[in-house]
Amino acid sequence: MTKTKKTVVILLIIAALIAIIPLFTLKGAEFGGSDDAGSKVVSEITGTDYQPWFTPVLETWIGGELPCEIESLLFCVQTGIGVGVIAFFMGRFVERNKIENQKSKIK
Amino acid sequence: MNQKEKKIVALAAAFALVFGVAPAANAMHIMEGYLPPKFCIMWGAISIPFLIAGYLSIKRTLSKHHRSITILAMGGAFVFVLSSLKIPSVTGSCSHMTGTGLGAILFGPSAVSILGIIVLIFQAILLAHGGLTTLGANTFSMAIAGPFVSYGIYKLCKMLRVNKYVGIFLAASIGDLFTYCITSVQLALAYPSENGGTIASAAKFLAVFAPTQLPLAIIEGILTVVIIIGLETYAKSELTDLGFMNGGEN
Protein backbone atom coordinates (compact mmCIF):
# COMPACT_ATOMS: atom_id res chain seq x y z
CA MET A 1 0.00 0.00 0.00
CA THR A 2 1.23 3.45 -0.79
CA LYS A 3 1.60 6.04 1.91
CA THR A 4 -1.39 8.06 0.75
CA LYS A 5 -3.61 5.00 0.78
CA LYS A 6 -2.51 4.21 4.31
CA THR A 7 -3.26 7.74 5.47
CA VAL A 8 -6.70 7.63 3.90
CA VAL A 9 -7.56 4.30 5.50
CA ILE A 10 -6.36 5.44 8.92
CA LEU A 11 -8.30 8.68 8.66
CA LEU A 12 -11.48 6.85 7.69
CA ILE A 13 -11.11 4.44 10.59
CA ILE A 14 -10.69 7.34 13.02
CA ALA A 15 -13.79 9.02 11.59
CA ALA A 16 -15.82 5.84 11.92
CA LEU A 17 -14.63 5.32 15.50
CA ILE A 18 -15.59 8.85 16.55
CA ALA A 19 -19.02 8.23 15.10
CA ILE A 20 -19.58 4.80 16.61
CA ILE A 21 -17.97 4.98 20.06
CA PRO A 22 -20.66 7.18 21.70
CA LEU A 23 -23.20 4.53 20.81
CA PHE A 24 -21.38 1.99 22.98
CA THR A 25 -20.09 4.20 25.74
CA LEU A 26 -23.36 6.01 26.37
CA LYS A 27 -25.61 3.04 26.91
CA GLY A 28 -29.27 3.88 27.23
CA ALA A 29 -28.87 7.33 25.76
CA GLU A 30 -31.72 8.37 23.53
CA PHE A 31 -29.88 9.73 20.52
CA GLY A 32 -33.06 11.58 19.83
CA GLY A 33 -33.93 13.73 16.87
CA SER A 34 -31.88 16.86 16.62
CA ASP A 35 -34.80 19.25 16.48
CA ASP A 36 -36.16 18.51 19.94
CA ALA A 37 -33.40 19.85 22.15
CA GLY A 38 -33.36 23.23 20.47
CA SER A 39 -37.09 23.60 20.95
CA LYS A 40 -36.73 22.61 24.59
CA VAL A 41 -34.29 25.42 25.20
CA VAL A 42 -36.63 27.85 23.46
CA SER A 43 -39.43 26.82 25.79
CA GLU A 44 -37.11 27.12 28.75
CA ILE A 45 -36.11 30.66 27.86
CA THR A 46 -39.54 31.96 26.93
CA GLY A 47 -41.02 30.21 29.95
CA THR A 48 -43.96 28.85 28.01
CA ASP A 49 -44.42 25.88 25.76
CA TYR A 50 -43.52 27.47 22.45
CA GLN A 51 -45.93 26.89 19.62
CA PRO A 52 -44.34 27.10 16.18
CA TRP A 53 -46.31 29.50 14.02
CA PHE A 54 -45.77 27.54 10.84
CA THR A 55 -45.81 23.80 10.22
CA PRO A 56 -43.57 22.16 7.64
CA VAL A 57 -45.28 22.12 4.24
CA LEU A 58 -44.98 18.38 3.88
CA GLU A 59 -46.74 17.83 7.18
CA THR A 60 -49.51 20.14 5.99
CA TRP A 61 -49.84 18.23 2.74
CA ILE A 62 -50.11 14.81 4.35
CA GLY A 63 -52.05 16.19 7.30
CA GLY A 64 -49.93 14.97 10.16
CA GLU A 65 -46.44 14.20 11.25
CA LEU A 66 -44.08 12.54 8.81
CA PRO A 67 -43.90 8.81 9.64
CA CYS A 68 -40.48 7.99 11.01
CA GLU A 69 -39.82 5.22 8.50
CA ILE A 70 -40.60 7.55 5.61
CA GLU A 71 -38.34 10.16 7.07
CA SER A 72 -35.44 7.74 7.15
CA LEU A 73 -36.29 6.74 3.58
CA LEU A 74 -36.05 10.34 2.46
CA PHE A 75 -32.80 10.82 4.32
CA CYS A 76 -31.46 7.74 2.56
CA VAL A 77 -32.54 9.18 -0.76
CA GLN A 78 -30.56 12.29 0.04
CA THR A 79 -27.49 10.28 0.96
CA GLY A 80 -27.96 8.11 -2.10
CA ILE A 81 -28.04 11.06 -4.46
CA GLY A 82 -24.90 12.46 -2.90
CA VAL A 83 -22.95 9.22 -2.83
CA GLY A 84 -24.07 8.41 -6.36
CA VAL A 85 -22.74 11.67 -7.73
CA ILE A 86 -19.46 11.44 -5.86
CA ALA A 87 -18.89 7.79 -6.79
CA PHE A 88 -19.76 8.36 -10.44
CA PHE A 89 -17.33 11.20 -10.94
CA MET A 90 -14.64 9.62 -8.79
CA GLY A 91 -14.90 6.47 -10.90
CA ARG A 92 -14.53 8.51 -14.04
CA PHE A 93 -11.47 10.28 -12.68
CA VAL A 94 -9.83 7.03 -11.64
CA GLU A 95 -10.36 5.43 -15.04
CA ARG A 96 -9.20 8.54 -16.85
CA ASN A 97 -6.05 8.54 -14.77
CA LYS A 98 -5.42 4.92 -15.64
CA ILE A 99 -5.78 5.54 -19.34
CA GLU A 100 -3.55 8.59 -19.23
CA ASN A 101 -0.89 6.65 -17.39
CA GLN A 102 -1.03 3.85 -19.95
CA LYS A 103 -0.71 6.34 -22.79
CA SER A 104 2.32 7.99 -21.30
CA LYS A 105 3.90 4.57 -20.78
CA ILE A 106 3.49 3.64 -24.46
CA LYS A 107 5.10 6.90 -25.50
CA MET B 1 9.95 10.73 20.77
CA ASN B 2 10.13 10.88 17.04
CA GLN B 3 7.70 12.73 14.83
CA LYS B 4 5.38 9.79 14.40
CA GLU B 5 5.13 9.01 18.08
CA LYS B 6 4.41 12.63 18.84
CA LYS B 7 1.57 12.56 16.38
CA ILE B 8 0.08 9.47 17.99
CA VAL B 9 0.23 11.01 21.46
CA ALA B 10 -1.34 14.21 20.18
CA LEU B 11 -4.10 12.19 18.57
CA ALA B 12 -4.76 10.28 21.78
CA ALA B 13 -4.91 13.55 23.69
CA ALA B 14 -7.41 14.91 21.21
CA PHE B 15 -9.53 11.80 21.68
CA ALA B 16 -9.45 12.16 25.45
CA LEU B 17 -10.52 15.77 25.14
CA VAL B 18 -13.40 14.92 22.87
CA PHE B 19 -14.78 12.12 24.99
CA GLY B 20 -14.25 13.93 28.25
CA VAL B 21 -16.90 16.45 27.28
CA ALA B 22 -19.87 16.30 29.62
CA PRO B 23 -23.21 15.20 28.21
CA ALA B 24 -25.62 17.96 27.28
CA ALA B 25 -28.08 17.83 24.40
CA ASN B 26 -28.30 18.35 20.65
CA ALA B 27 -29.21 20.54 17.72
CA MET B 28 -29.27 21.31 14.05
CA HIS B 29 -31.04 23.69 11.71
CA ILE B 30 -33.57 26.03 13.21
CA MET B 31 -36.96 24.33 13.14
CA GLU B 32 -39.85 25.40 10.96
CA GLY B 33 -41.89 28.17 12.54
CA TYR B 34 -39.45 28.74 15.38
CA LEU B 35 -38.23 32.14 14.31
CA PRO B 36 -40.59 35.12 14.49
CA PRO B 37 -41.49 36.35 10.97
CA LYS B 38 -39.48 39.53 11.48
CA PHE B 39 -36.29 37.51 11.85
CA CYS B 40 -37.14 35.18 8.98
CA ILE B 41 -37.36 38.13 6.64
CA MET B 42 -34.25 39.76 8.04
CA TRP B 43 -32.04 36.69 7.64
CA GLY B 44 -33.50 36.03 4.23
CA ALA B 45 -32.67 39.55 3.13
CA ILE B 46 -29.13 39.27 4.48
CA SER B 47 -28.64 36.02 2.58
CA ILE B 48 -29.75 37.33 -0.81
CA PRO B 49 -26.63 39.34 -1.73
CA PHE B 50 -24.48 36.32 -0.85
CA LEU B 51 -26.60 34.07 -3.03
CA ILE B 52 -26.32 36.46 -5.96
CA ALA B 53 -22.57 36.71 -5.45
CA GLY B 54 -22.48 32.91 -5.28
CA TYR B 55 -24.41 32.53 -8.50
CA LEU B 56 -22.12 34.96 -10.30
CA SER B 57 -19.02 33.31 -8.86
CA ILE B 58 -20.15 29.87 -10.04
CA LYS B 59 -20.99 31.26 -13.46
CA ARG B 60 -17.58 32.87 -13.72
CA THR B 61 -15.71 29.75 -12.64
CA LEU B 62 -17.64 27.54 -15.02
CA SER B 63 -17.21 29.82 -18.01
CA LYS B 64 -13.49 29.95 -17.37
CA HIS B 65 -13.01 26.26 -16.62
CA HIS B 66 -15.90 24.34 -18.02
CA ARG B 67 -14.51 21.02 -16.82
CA SER B 68 -14.63 22.02 -13.19
CA ILE B 69 -18.39 21.44 -13.25
CA THR B 70 -17.70 17.85 -12.21
CA ILE B 71 -15.83 19.02 -9.14
CA LEU B 72 -18.63 21.45 -8.36
CA ALA B 73 -21.12 18.59 -8.58
CA MET B 74 -18.96 16.59 -6.22
CA GLY B 75 -18.77 19.50 -3.80
CA GLY B 76 -22.55 19.71 -3.83
CA ALA B 77 -22.90 15.97 -3.43
CA PHE B 78 -20.53 16.12 -0.48
CA VAL B 79 -22.86 18.59 1.24
CA PHE B 80 -25.78 16.29 0.40
CA VAL B 81 -24.16 13.24 1.95
CA LEU B 82 -22.72 14.87 5.05
CA SER B 83 -25.84 16.80 5.93
CA SER B 84 -27.97 13.67 5.61
CA LEU B 85 -25.93 11.52 7.97
CA LYS B 86 -27.16 11.84 11.51
CA ILE B 87 -24.33 10.76 13.71
CA PRO B 88 -24.50 9.86 17.40
CA SER B 89 -22.43 12.18 19.51
CA VAL B 90 -20.85 12.17 22.94
CA THR B 91 -23.79 14.02 24.41
CA GLY B 92 -26.19 11.17 23.78
CA SER B 93 -27.98 12.78 20.93
CA CYS B 94 -27.58 13.02 17.18
CA SER B 95 -26.62 15.81 14.95
CA HIS B 96 -25.26 16.08 11.46
CA MET B 97 -22.42 17.75 9.65
CA THR B 98 -22.55 20.52 7.10
CA GLY B 99 -20.02 19.44 4.48
CA THR B 100 -19.62 22.98 3.25
CA GLY B 101 -15.89 23.22 3.92
CA LEU B 102 -14.88 21.32 0.79
CA GLY B 103 -16.74 23.60 -1.59
CA ALA B 104 -15.51 26.69 0.23
CA ILE B 105 -11.88 25.60 -0.10
CA LEU B 106 -12.19 24.69 -3.79
CA PHE B 107 -14.65 27.26 -5.11
CA GLY B 108 -14.60 30.08 -2.61
CA PRO B 109 -17.19 30.75 0.07
CA SER B 110 -19.89 32.48 -1.95
CA ALA B 111 -20.25 29.59 -4.40
CA VAL B 112 -21.13 27.27 -1.50
CA SER B 113 -24.14 29.37 -0.58
CA ILE B 114 -25.84 28.06 -3.72
CA LEU B 115 -24.92 24.44 -2.98
CA GLY B 116 -26.04 24.85 0.60
CA ILE B 117 -29.41 26.36 -0.18
CA ILE B 118 -30.22 23.49 -2.55
CA VAL B 119 -29.70 21.03 0.28
CA LEU B 120 -31.61 23.19 2.74
CA ILE B 121 -34.60 23.46 0.41
CA PHE B 122 -34.55 19.70 -0.15
CA GLN B 123 -34.54 19.06 3.59
CA ALA B 124 -37.10 21.74 4.38
CA ILE B 125 -39.66 20.51 1.87
CA LEU B 126 -39.20 16.75 1.91
CA LEU B 127 -37.82 16.02 5.33
CA ALA B 128 -39.54 18.61 7.50
CA HIS B 129 -36.02 19.26 8.71
CA GLY B 130 -35.18 22.93 9.03
CA GLY B 131 -37.95 24.83 7.32
CA LEU B 132 -39.08 27.17 4.61
CA THR B 133 -39.74 30.06 6.99
CA THR B 134 -36.34 29.62 8.61
CA LEU B 135 -34.62 29.01 5.28
CA GLY B 136 -33.00 32.44 5.31
CA ALA B 137 -31.56 31.97 8.77
CA ASN B 138 -30.36 28.44 8.07
CA THR B 139 -28.84 29.51 4.77
CA PHE B 140 -26.96 32.24 6.54
CA SER B 141 -25.55 29.95 9.22
CA MET B 142 -24.79 26.84 7.17
CA ALA B 143 -24.22 28.09 3.64
CA ILE B 144 -22.73 31.53 4.25
CA ALA B 145 -21.15 32.05 7.68
CA GLY B 146 -19.63 28.55 7.97
CA PRO B 147 -18.04 28.51 4.49
CA PHE B 148 -16.68 32.03 4.91
CA VAL B 149 -14.95 31.04 8.12
CA SER B 150 -13.66 27.84 6.49
CA TYR B 151 -12.27 29.81 3.61
CA GLY B 152 -10.67 32.38 5.91
CA ILE B 153 -9.00 29.71 8.01
CA TYR B 154 -7.81 27.84 4.95
CA LYS B 155 -6.23 31.00 3.55
CA LEU B 156 -4.74 31.87 6.92
CA CYS B 157 -3.17 28.44 7.26
CA LYS B 158 -1.77 28.77 3.78
CA MET B 159 -0.28 32.13 4.62
CA LEU B 160 1.25 30.78 7.82
CA ARG B 161 2.62 27.84 5.82
CA VAL B 162 0.82 25.27 7.94
CA ASN B 163 0.73 21.79 6.42
CA LYS B 164 -1.91 21.81 3.71
CA TYR B 165 -3.91 18.92 5.10
CA VAL B 166 -3.86 20.31 8.61
CA GLY B 167 -5.12 23.58 7.16
CA ILE B 168 -7.95 21.82 5.34
CA PHE B 169 -8.85 19.86 8.45
CA LEU B 170 -8.98 23.00 10.58
CA ALA B 171 -10.90 24.93 7.95
CA ALA B 172 -13.60 22.30 7.58
CA SER B 173 -14.04 21.52 11.25
CA ILE B 174 -13.98 25.08 12.53
CA GLY B 175 -16.37 26.11 9.76
CA ASP B 176 -18.71 23.35 10.91
CA LEU B 177 -18.54 24.50 14.53
CA PHE B 178 -19.01 28.10 13.54
CA THR B 179 -22.23 27.22 11.75
CA TYR B 180 -23.65 26.18 15.11
CA CYS B 181 -22.34 29.26 16.86
CA ILE B 182 -24.28 31.33 14.34
CA THR B 183 -27.38 29.19 14.83
CA SER B 184 -27.13 29.83 18.58
CA VAL B 185 -26.79 33.56 18.05
CA GLN B 186 -29.73 33.56 15.65
CA LEU B 187 -31.93 31.79 18.18
CA ALA B 188 -30.66 34.04 20.95
CA LEU B 189 -31.51 37.18 19.02
CA ALA B 190 -35.02 35.90 18.58
CA TYR B 191 -35.32 34.67 22.17
CA PRO B 192 -33.28 36.88 24.47
CA SER B 193 -33.37 35.48 27.95
CA GLU B 194 -35.12 37.54 30.63
CA ASN B 195 -32.11 38.09 32.80
CA GLY B 196 -28.95 38.66 30.82
CA GLY B 197 -30.59 39.31 27.47
CA THR B 198 -29.24 38.08 24.19
CA ILE B 199 -25.78 37.11 25.39
CA ALA B 200 -26.98 34.90 28.22
CA SER B 201 -29.43 33.31 25.85
CA ALA B 202 -26.72 32.72 23.22
CA ALA B 203 -24.54 31.07 25.85
CA LYS B 204 -27.41 28.77 26.73
CA PHE B 205 -28.01 27.70 23.15
CA LEU B 206 -24.30 27.32 22.57
CA ALA B 207 -23.99 25.07 25.61
CA VAL B 208 -26.59 22.85 24.02
CA PHE B 209 -25.11 22.81 20.53
CA ALA B 210 -21.34 22.96 20.87
CA PRO B 211 -20.54 19.70 22.73
CA THR B 212 -22.67 17.68 20.36
CA GLN B 213 -21.12 19.23 17.34
CA LEU B 214 -17.47 19.03 18.38
CA PRO B 215 -16.80 15.37 17.48
CA LEU B 216 -18.83 15.77 14.31
CA ALA B 217 -16.72 18.74 13.35
CA ILE B 218 -13.66 16.53 13.71
CA ILE B 219 -15.22 13.85 11.49
CA GLU B 220 -16.10 16.48 8.95
CA GLY B 221 -12.52 17.72 8.95
CA ILE B 222 -11.21 14.20 8.41
CA LEU B 223 -13.64 13.42 5.60
CA THR B 224 -12.84 16.68 3.84
CA VAL B 225 -9.14 15.87 3.96
CA VAL B 226 -9.82 12.37 2.61
CA ILE B 227 -11.83 13.59 -0.34
CA ILE B 228 -9.24 16.26 -1.13
CA ILE B 229 -6.52 13.59 -1.14
CA GLY B 230 -8.68 11.56 -3.52
CA LEU B 231 -9.25 14.48 -5.84
CA GLU B 232 -5.59 15.43 -5.78
CA THR B 233 -4.66 11.93 -6.84
CA TYR B 234 -7.19 11.46 -9.61
CA ALA B 235 -8.37 14.87 -10.73
CA LYS B 236 -5.22 16.91 -10.73
CA SER B 237 -6.00 18.82 -13.91
CA GLU B 238 -9.34 20.09 -12.61
CA LEU B 239 -7.85 21.19 -9.33
CA THR B 240 -5.07 22.98 -11.18
CA ASP B 241 -7.74 24.80 -13.18
CA LEU B 242 -9.31 25.96 -9.96
CA GLY B 243 -5.99 27.24 -8.73
CA PHE B 244 -5.92 24.75 -5.88
CA MET B 245 -2.74 22.88 -6.79
CA ASN B 246 -0.43 25.74 -7.66
CA GLY B 247 0.81 27.50 -4.60
CA GLY B 248 -1.03 25.04 -2.46
CA GLU B 249 1.99 22.79 -2.21
CA ASN B 250 4.11 22.97 0.85
pLDDT digits over B91-143, tens only? 777 778 888 989 999 988 888 999 989 888 888 887 777 778 888 888 988 88
Q: Nearest Cβ partner of A37 from B11, B25, B234?
A: B25
Q: Tens digit of pLDDT for each residue in B179-216?
A: 888 888 888 888 777 777 778 888 877 887 788 788 88
The nearest CA of chain B is from the CA of A96 a distance in Å of 8
Written as one letter, the residue type at A78 is Q
* ipTM confidence score: 0.76
Residue B43 confidence class, pLDDT cut points 50, 70, 90 = confident
Q: In Å, how far are B78, B120, B197 from B41, measured between CA atoms?
A: 29, 16, 22
Say what the pTM is: 0.79
> In A, which residues are within 8 Å of B83 by CB distance?
78
Shortest Cα–Cα distance, A2 to chain B (Å): 12
What is the helix (H) or strand (E) element at residue B178, kind and residue range?
helix B164-190
Q: How many CB pairs under 8 A join A and B?
A: 191
At residue A33, the 3 state secondary structure works out as coil
How long, in residues, is chain B? 250
B-chain residue closest to A49, CA distance:
B34
Q: Are B154 and B168 in contact (CB under 8 A)?
A: yes
